[in-house]
């Protein structure tokens, strides 16, 4: 971008948000140019911090007119390169828009701005004895960004993804207009449901910030039952662990039902790869249950014992096991600063971490894991894999957290190649990546039905005729 043009653009942006809230300073732009993933850093031209909807409207009208790319940004804690600008332009940081607009303890709905963090919402819900499905991630991460990107949390086995908890939304589309989707579109005070209307909120969920900027989000929140019981088991094989998880899922008693490989159970994850000791089981599982009464808790324990005995009678390798207290806290006392801190996963690797994170039919977990294990070990990387059931047995998540030495281009590229190889295996088995970096989008699009790609392009062009919103991220 020509220096003269850059100076004029900066002055225009400063006139919208104030001189201190828009900059082209290289050291600040650099801080927004990278994340922990294998995605190569790319500098934005400007960083702008908005504090209200009207400012976002003005910025997008100006950017649309001048055809300047705009990348929405909150905490930048994702590990898919989702906010690394592919074509420069403006990073629009929404951290200052951090109001919790409403908590309705009867309707069990909260309305938040995009800058509200998991820690902030947790603190606000606590006096009402309410909770949300906190992800195992940094407390500073954005609730709204996680939800609109189909993120996961600690209650997915019961309620599904964070995006399935969305009740309504307000969005500024790329041409600057404000739109609403869900019940708040009909009554500005009603934020309770996206149904039974056309689900226009789907135009802004899973689109990686390429169709608009969500400025207000309604989400379901839930009561916090007082009695917690976590059931923990271990198995020698992925097939035995899947058998147990499938069986237990059928009873729908768990808020979270997850299995982790030996390598992911180590904190930090071993980098480079190190073999599992022969005496150790390969898989560990925790099943988190909450109850309102002691009898309810006992009933859930009875079901779990039934499942455990059934699995033993099948002749599987399942055993009840002790799960470290610190790790249990990290799964229940969320937002977590223990295991949930991403740095704990990657601190042996040299500050790099990425994943093939996918929604994979649970019956395909075992064959996919077997192939992933071969691929990752051949690249000298640990097969640090997680499997989680969502909404009973209806679908599940299969994810490998892969640390690597980001200070080395060679080691970073090695990890990228391994992760993309793993993704191909999963796509061929019917899996779908979430929060996908551009490398993943390319692989998805190779397999996509032509009508699907045509529809994506038409919707993107309709909402964003000048292709300014996080351009290039969809790989189309």
Which of residues 93, 113, 143 is at a domain's end?
Answer: 93
174 by DSSP, 3-state: which?
coil
- The confidence score (pLDDT) of residue 278 equals 96
- The confidence score (pLDDT) of residue 327 equals 64
What's the total number of domains in the chain?
A: 3
Which of residues 46, 64, 93 is at a domain's end?
Answer: 93
Distance CA 326, CA 341 (A): 13
**Domain presence at residue 461:** no
- The confidence score (pLDDT) of residue 340 equals 43
- The confidence score (pLDDT) of residue 332 equals 63
Q: Is the peptide bond before 75 cis (omega within 30 degrees of 0)?
A: no
- The confidence score (pLDDT) of residue 338 equals 39
Q: Are 124 and 258 in a shared domain? A: no
What is the chain's alpha carbon radius of gyration, rounded to the nearest angstrom? 23
What are the residue ranges of helices labelled H in 283-387? 294-313, 325-332, 342-346, 365-378
Q: Are 210 and 285 in a shared domain? A: no
Q: Which residues of the chain have pLDDT under 70?
A: 1-4, 323-324, 326-349
Q: Are 375 and 277 in a shared domain? A: yes
- The reply to whether the predicted model has a pTM over 0.85 is yes
Q: Which of 427, 459, 419, 425 is nearest to 39 (CA)?
A: 419
Distance CA 29, CA 25 (A): 6
């Amino acid at each position: 971008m020509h220096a003269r043009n850059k100076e004029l653009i900066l002055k225009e942006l400063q006139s919208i948000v104030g001189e201190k809230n828009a900059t082209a300073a290289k050291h600040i732009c650099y801080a927004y140019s990278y994340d922990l993933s294998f995605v190569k850093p790319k500098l934005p031209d400007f960083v702008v911090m908005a504090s209200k909807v009207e400012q976002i409207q003005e910025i997008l009208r100006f950017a649309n007119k001048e055809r300047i790319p705009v990348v929405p940004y909150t905490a930048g804690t994702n590990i898919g390169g989702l906010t690394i600008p592919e074509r420069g332009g403006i990073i629009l940081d929404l951290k200052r828009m951090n109001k919790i607009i409403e908590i309705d303890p009867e309707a069990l709905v909260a309305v938040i701005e995009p800058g509200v963090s998991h820690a902030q919402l947790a603190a606000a819900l606590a006096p009402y004895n309410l909770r949300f499905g906190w992800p195992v991630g940094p407390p500073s991460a954005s609730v709204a960004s996680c939800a609109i990107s189909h993120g996961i949390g600690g209650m997915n086995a019961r309620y599904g993804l964070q995006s399935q908890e969305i009740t309504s939304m307000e969005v500024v589309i790329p041409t600057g207009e404000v739109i609403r989707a869900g019940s708040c579109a009909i009554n500005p005070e009603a934020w309770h449901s996206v149904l039974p209307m056309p689900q226009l909120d789907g135009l802004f969920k899973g689109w990686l910030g390429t169709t608009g900027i969500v400025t207000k989000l309604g989400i379901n929140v839930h009561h916090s039952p007082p009695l917690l019981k976590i059931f923990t088991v271990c198995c020698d094989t992925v097939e035995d662990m899947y058998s147990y998880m499938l069986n237990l899922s059928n009873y729908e008693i768990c808020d979270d039902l997850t299995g982790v490989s030996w390598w992911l159970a180590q904190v930090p994850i071993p980098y480079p790869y190190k073999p599992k000791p022969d005496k150790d089981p390969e898989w560990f599982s925790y099943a988190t249950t909450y109850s309102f009464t002691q009898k309810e808790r006992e009933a859930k324990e009875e079901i779990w014992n039934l499942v455990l005995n059934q699995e033993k009678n099948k002749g599987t390798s399942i055993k009840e096991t002790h799960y470290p207290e610190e790790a249990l806290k990290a799964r229940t006392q969320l937002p977590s600063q223990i295991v949930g801190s991403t740095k704990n996963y990657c601190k042996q690797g040299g500050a790099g971490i990425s994943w093939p994170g996918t929604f994979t039919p649970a019956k395909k977990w075992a064959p996919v894991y077997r192939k992933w294990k071969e691929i990752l070990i051949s690249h000298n990387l640990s097969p640090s894999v997680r499997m989680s059931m969502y909404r009973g047995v209806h679908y599940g998540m299969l994810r490998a957290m892969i640390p690597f030495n980001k200070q080395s281009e060679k080691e970073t590229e090695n990890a990228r190649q391994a992760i993309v190889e793993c993704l191909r295996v999963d796509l061929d088995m019917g899996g779908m990546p979430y929060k996908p970096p551009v490398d993943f989008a390319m692989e998805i699009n190779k397999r996509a039905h032509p009508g699907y790609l045509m529809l994506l392009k038409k919707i993107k062009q309709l909402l964003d005729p000048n292709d300014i919103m996080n351009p290039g991220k969809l790989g189309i």
